[in-house]
Amino acid sequence: MLLKIARTTALVALTACALNAADFNAQAEKDRLALIKYFEAKFENPLKNRSTFFPYSTDDELKNNIMSGLKFEDFSKGNYSFSKNGRMSYDEIKEFPPYEEFVENGEALYSKAFANGKSFKDCFPDPSVAGSAYPYFDEKKKEVMTLTVAINQCLTSNGEKAWNPKKGKIAHLEAYFVQEAQDAEKKIDVKIESKEAEEAYNRGKEYYYTQRGYLNLSCAECHVQGAGQRVRNESLSPFLGQVTHFPVYRLKWGAADANNDGLGTLERRMSGCVKDQGQVPPKYDAKEMKELLFFMAYMSNGMKIDGPDIRK
């Protein structure tokens, strides 16, 4: 009898412990599942559910352009996941992807020796882990670590200069990392295992849902409620899957100037959207930027890594 009680107590203690560990991401999991449910419902039958989800879209748009029956994994393709017109040119460009040379260059950068003889291999022994294991919450430093920040820290801790966090070499190296992660069939896998990680997630979430700028719009108004609608000549991409494919090659970035090869990091894209809101974006290594990215990545948990990619 005593033994039985002891065993039961031990079991209860164990369960309580397991519950506590899982607890830190309980709200995040609820948010994530609700988001998936929202997007699957929204794109199940856009024409039929127009009054709920697409009150501002035209008949032509709903009948001829927006696809229906989309499921979880489909959303990693941004606005090409639902736009028939966009998807055609996307598929054409993907046959000869313009970023292939960047992936090769990234691979060369990965093994190139620093002045001290070390290389990125010492910081990231497995390049495919680098593509999928970031961002993560560093439980010792109590802060979010992103891939872009980790790459620059690798450089500076080896006596090299940090790189521009938005384009150029960093984007090439990340293109190689993400290609490796895709080849290894990695998925987004962000963990929230402490109170502090949960708080970081919450602050990122608050940023995403806060209205700001002269239009007084939040990220969510465009990329959750607005996803699938048009803004000028762009369709708004769904929040779900927004981080699965970076860096991306953008036609717009490629045309910007001769020194710009068109490839950009997730931070570059996020900063662009903050600027469009009429705000000054936080620096790539600022707490706000890292926590926003952490939140965004969590919300795409379980999705396949699918980069690099192309966008308009």
273 touches ligand HEC by CB under 6 A = yes
Q: Is 231 in the site for ligand HEC (CB under 6 A)?
A: yes
Of residues 126, 234, 285, 288, which one binds ligand HEC by CB under 6 A? 234
Q: Say which amino acid occupies 297.
A: A
- Among the listed ranges 27-35, 147-155, 193-201, 231-239, the one in contact with ligand HEC (CB under 6 A) is 231-239
Q: Is 242 in the site for ligand HEC (CB under 6 A)?
A: yes
Annotated binding site: 123, 154, 219, 222-223, 269, 273
Binding segment toward ligand HEC, per CB under 6 A, in 11-19, 110-118, 194-202, 267-275 = 267-275
Q: What minimum distance in Å lies between the beta carbon of 62 and ligand HEC?
A: 18
Residue ranges for the binding site for heme c?
123, 154, 219, 222-223, 273
Q: What is the DSSP letter of 222?
A: I
Per the CB < 8 A criterion, the answer to whether 263 and 106 are in contact is no
Q: Which stretch binds ligand HEC (CB under 6 A): 35-43, 159-167, 214-222, 251-259?
A: 214-222
* 162, 217, 251, 256: residue in contact with ligand HEC (rule CB under 6 A): 217
Closest by CA position to 70, among listed 36, 40, 32, 47: 40
Burial of residue 108 (number of CB atoms within 10 Å: 0-12, 13-18, 19+): exposed
Per-residue burial over 134-165, b if 16 or more Cβ lie within 10 Å, else e, is bbbbeeeeebbbbbbbbbbebbeebeeeebeb
Strands 136-138, 143-145: pairing kind:
antiparallel
Shortest distance (Å) from residue 111 CB to ligand HEC: 29
Contact status: 269 vs ligand HEC (CB under 6 A): yes
Active site residues: 273
- Answer whether 204's CB lies under 8 Å from 294's CB: yes
SS3 label, residue 236: coil
Applying CB under 6 A, which residues contact ligand HEC? 78-79, 217, 219, 222-223, 231, 234, 236-237, 242, 248, 269-270, 273-274, 277, 311
